[in-house]
Amino acid sequence: MNGKELLRRYAAGERDFSGVDLTGANLSGVHRRFDIDSYAEPYRQGITSDLSGINLSAANLTQAYLGGVNLEGANLSNANLTRADLSKSNLTNADLSGANLTEAVLEWAELDGTNMRGANLSHAEIRVGDVFSPDLTGAKNLKTVDFTGMAIELTLEDGTVIDTTDYDW
């Protein structure tokens, strides 16, 4: 399946895409490099397409482009998001538990209430402007995450504190 097919089926009311192969798919609805001023107001606000509530559990989204996609409440549990671009996406209350986010880019993504329990975050880039509160309990490879440009303090369920202001973790 490709990105256009998924977007068409989602628009028709389908929500369950668990286990699909979307390697390299563009789910943003726009070209990866676009002039934001040439698009309508929702695009200028950073929202490119709405896939809220979608079920992409166990989907292969390796190198997929989800920049600016509204994935609020989406199920991405156990999905392979290796080298996926989720920049400026809305992942509020999304389920990324057990997901593979190796080298994924989450710059300016909205991560409030995101379930990232047991996710593999090896060398992921997470840069957000606001304080965020994802559930990182049991997340793997947190010490390899690039938090550059952020001044946040994460407290995990076990009491472990990750303070990005001193980069000494």
Between these two residues, 149 and 26, which has the higher pLDDT value? 26
Q: For the chain, first and last CA: distance in Å?
A: 41
**101, amino acid identity:** L
Give the single-character DSSP code of 131. -
pTM over 0.85: no
Collapsing DSSP states into helix, strand and coil, what is residue 113?
coil
Across the chain, mean pLDDT equals 82
Whether 167 has a pLDDT exceeding 50, the answer reads no
- Residue length of the chain: 169
User: How does pLDDT run across 73-116, given as a tens digit for each residue?
Assistant: 999 999 999 999 999 899 999 999 999 999 999 988 888 889 99
Domain ranges for the chain:
1-32+55-169
Q: Which pLDDT score is estimated for 122?
A: 95
